[in-house]
Amino acid sequence: MNPKTSQTKNLATAFKELEKIAQQFEQGKIDLEQGIKELERGLELARFLKKQLSKIEHKVTEIKKSYQEIDD
């Protein structure tokens, strides 16, 4: 598996896990002790996703700039 596919899979997997945690809270299907653990995990996932999306945004900006240079 190439790194880009792996990164996309990791993003998708992390997002799905974060969604699952959010649903548990929304549905009230979680007790306090487990809720704290899930909250910590959710924050870890959110931090990971934010970092990865920032990297992707930066890469898109670089690509756009390179194409603008070609057009000029």
CA distance 41 to 39: 5
Q: What is the CATH number of the domain that holds 10?
A: 1.10.287
Three-state secondary structure call for residue 72: coil
Q: Of 34, 14, 13, 15, which Cα lies nearest the Cα of 24?
A: 34
Q: What is the reported pLDDT for 17?
A: 96
Domain range for residue 58?
Answer: 3-71
The contacts of residue 49 (CB under 8 Å, 6+ apart) are: 11, 14, 15, 18
Total domains, the chain:
1
Tens of pLDDT, residues 26-68 = 999 889 999 999 999 999 999 999 999 999 999 999 999 988 8
